[in-house]
Structure 1
Amino acid sequence: MMTQIRRFARLTPLLLAAVALPANASLIVDSAVTSFFIPHATTTDTVGNDMPLPRPSTLYFGQVRATGTGVVDFFYIGKEAGFTNKFYVKDNLLASTASQPDSFNAPFPLIGSLAVSAGQLLDFGFCTDGGDKVLGSRCVWNDSALSIVSQYNHDRVGGYRSIGYATADIFDPATGARSFGSGLGPSDNLFAFWDDSGARNDDNHDDMIIGMRFTRVDEPTSLALAATGLLGLLWVGSRRNRGASRAA
């Protein structure tokens, strides 16, 4: 019996870690796709960006990925652009800058949500009605490396169209309060800054800005498996103990 207890003690931290895994779930920016950018770049600055302070000084390129199960809420932050820009989630139009003023004023409205799972690239994208078409499109989709690279590399201007990202330590859509972090994450709050190439990519990434907020949810399957594992260990220990008693 003591042997089973020792084995149980060694395995318990692993099982508890599996139960606790969702608490660490969040969003990250995977920068692997930037290795195909011409010229190669992983970041850009926000010089000329019209979003009122506070705003990030550095934006990161890449693809947004979830590290666990949860729900991502999307908020319209604002825009400064002459072209009409649109934001889609799973091919559904959530926001358009048509008839919207050039402003970034709170409260920032919730425009939609997306359920995500661990490792998943978020299915969203930006489109514009101005500038050149690249491979027949004026859109960049987060879950399509081809669209990200082809739009960035068009005409080899160093970023024809692109989405830059910034993490936020604080984000309150109701009041507009925000405090930006640095790096690729992980973070529960992420801002997507769209540059539509209207000025041959002025690189200020304020043509449309969307805020994202990740909310973790329990993973019933993980919890059930962990609970089953604990019960299984107890059952095996009990069976072996009874067998040893009978043999004695």
Structure 2
Amino acid sequence: MARASKTKSRPRKSKAKPAWTARLRRFFWRALAVGFLVVVGAVLLGRVINPPTTAYMFGESRRLNGVDQQWTAMEDIAPVMARAVVAAEDANFCNHWGFDLAAIKLAIAQGSNRGASTLSQQTVKNVYLWHGRSWVRKAMEAGITPIMEALWPKRRILEVYLNVAEFDEGVFGVEAAARHYFGVGPENLSAQQAAQLAAVLPAPKKRSASRPTAFLKKRAAQIRSGAATIREDGRAACFES
């Protein structure tokens, strides 16, 4: 009678992951770490070194064959100008860490993104990124903003913003804007002039601070009132030290 042959079951070998996936993973994490360090380094430099230009300013300079911009220290800008810009663009500037969640929720409820972008986000966009609505830029902005908030004092963020914001075609920064519209230095701006300058920021190529429409006059009055309010209630304390 023939014996049934016994077949020995061989232990299954665990499939080793291909070496290239491990290398790819290491490369990804190293690239991410290097990218993070580069961003942190650039933001740290921006804390002490004034940006000579921005991507948008450079593009406009090439298109217009030059732009008007001169850096001015915060000490040489009328305090009412700083308060007017905060009141107009980001009233809770001193109370958030880069993102105004209440403003974001309100903007979503209203179906608009106007008012949701903080001064910190706008400074990141102007100094380190480019203008546009792509998701890539938005994601980068969201990543860099908290780094800037952690490394820069609020006063520095506002100082940089005031020097790179566009106030008219080819006119960048409050120094150029004050002289362009009113023929005075930024240290001599009145409360009304500051409010009118702040009122043009959402659409600098369509609005004029020296020739205000009825709408802009109404908006400037709201900003002037808001600037007085944030001074009284302490929401200007972080940049008026």
Q: TM-score, normalised by structure 2?
A: 0.28
Q: TM-score, normalised by structure 1?
A: 0.28
More strand by share: 1
